[in-house]
Amino acid sequence: MKTGIEKRINRLKNKMAVTETDTLILFSDENRRYFSGFTGEDGSYDESAGILIITREHLILATDSRFETQAAREAEGYEIHCYKKSMAVELPHILKKLQSKNIGLESDRLTHALYTKIEKEAKNAGLQCRFQPEDTLLKNIRVQKDDSEIKAIKKALAIAETSFLELREMIHPGMTEKKAAWLLEKFMRQNGADALSFPVIAASGKNSALPHAIPGDRAFNTGEPLLFDFGVRLDGYCSDTTRTLVIGSPDDTFKEAYEILNTAQQMAVDAIAPGIKCSDIDKIARNHIDSSRFKGSFGHSLGHGVGLAIHEAPRLSSLDDSELKSGMVVTVEPGIYLPQWGGIRLENMILVTENGAEVLNTMGYDNYRLQSL
């Protein structure tokens, strides 16, 4: 077993001991990979690539025949159980052999339907146990990244930025949002991405006021905001960046909003350090935006953690009073959204270090203007 994964498992077992959980069952792609190295992914919300069952003495990866060989290759140190019927039917029998009593579930990724089946089969099997959610135990287990994780994130970010610079050279009036999104996806995959972190957002004009706009057939025009949000996955780890451009000369609203966001982002980044509350970082950027004529135009939180999942703890949000720690990787992405005009968002990825913030992006904001072709 790789040293990094072994350390993670030991850390998890120590947390389990504190909560008196003798068995923990993990359902998510991210936690399966984090604690075993198994890269199998769920096809949809009602389709599972498998589960991890972790006790003080046992490590079990239960999956079906589609992933049996892959699991044996990737999950070193785990006993592979290939269920022939279904997870819900066979899980209680596994737990009975393990003599599990206090069973913690990763309930964030467990549907009510599957839980109901597991509970029913447990009763049918005569399993005397207590199921309980253990999401508090798991919530912050991945927040501090080790060197290998940070290296993967940096590589994923480099691919995304290199690809965006290629797209930038091709943007012109008349190009559609769909075309731009496809080209950026194409470049990212050609440059080595395993997959996308999320579907590319390419939004122009009034559509750019939609933070999660879906690219459509709208054509780019000169003088309007062109917002791009993009990222890739590499070795399981995600990157996430947003840039807003303009073809030709921007209007006064664009220039004013852009400058305000640039300053708000820098103020937030300068304040990032271990021990600072996430909510305070959000407040710094939000207060600067709200001190301008664009007050109330920034609705979403300032940022979020990034790792094996594109959105994970911590959240740079007014609702998250947890403290930043070294090794966390977060986005800082203030935005101004005006429904009748458009929107601008600037997003960089930040590594929290003992000395403050390290901006992982190498692509700056120096030139948002594109020549009108």
Domain of 251, CATH number, reads 3.90.230.10
Same domain, yes or no: 259 and 340: yes
Strand, helix or coil at 200? coil
Does residue 172 sit in the same domain as residue 302?
Answer: yes
Domain boundary among 109, 139, 169: 139
DSSP 8-state secondary structure symbol assigned to residue 330? E
Instruction: Write the CB contacts of 135 (distance below 8 Å, at least 6 apart in sequence).
Output: 106, 107, 108
The interaxial angle of helices 29-36 and 3-19, nearest 10 deg, is: 110
Q: Looking at the structure, tell me whether residues 46 and 73 fall in a common domain.
A: yes
Looking at the fold, whether 202 and 305 belong to one and the same domain comes out as yes
Is 301 in contact with 281 (CB distance < 8 Å)? no
Chosen domain end from 139, 163, 181:
139
Together in a domain, 330 and 353: yes
Same domain, 247 and 289: yes
Pull the structure tokens for residue 233: 């996955």
Those residues with Cβ within 8 angstroms of residue 318's Cβ, 6 or more apart along the chain or in another chain: 279, 282, 283, 286, 301
Please tell me the predicted confidence (pLDDT) of residue 43.
85
> How high is the pLDDT of residue 372?
56
**pLDDT of amino acid 151:** 98
Instruction: Let me know whether 248 and 285 are in one domain.
Output: yes
Rounded distance between C-alpha atoms, residue 270 and residue 323, angstroms: 16
- Angle, to 10 degrees, between the axis of helix 177-190 and the axis of helix 147-168? 130
Both tokens of 78, joined, read 């785990």
Nearest CA-CA partner of 231 in 340, 170, 140, 152 = 152
Looking at the DSSP assignment, which residues form a beta bridge with residue 356? 353
305 contacts 311 by C-beta, under 8 angstroms: yes
Which of the residues in the chain have pLDDT under 50? 373
Residues 6+ apart with CB under 8 A from 228: 164, 167, 180, 184, 200, 201, 202, 203, 242, 243, 244, 245
Task: Note the pTM of the prediction, 2 decimals.
Answer: 0.95
Side-chain-facing half-sphere of 164: CA atoms under 13 Å? 29
What total number of domains does the chain contain? 2
Clarify whether residues 306 and 365 are in a common domain: yes
For residue 187, give both structure tokens. 């470049």
Per-residue pLDDT, 373? 47
Q: What is the CATH number of the domain that holds 78?
A: 3.40.350.10
**Domain co-membership, 170 together with 306:** yes
Question: What tokens were used for 191?
Answer: 């440059």
Tokens of 43: 């096809």
One domain for residues 117 and 155: no
Give the span between the Cα atoms of 29 and 109, in whole angstroms.
9
d(CA 313, CA 130): 28
Q: Are 24 and 171 in the same domain?
A: no
Give the SS3 label for residue 351. strand
Choose the final residue of a domain: 82, 107, 139: 139
Containing domain of residue 26, as a range?
Answer: 3-139
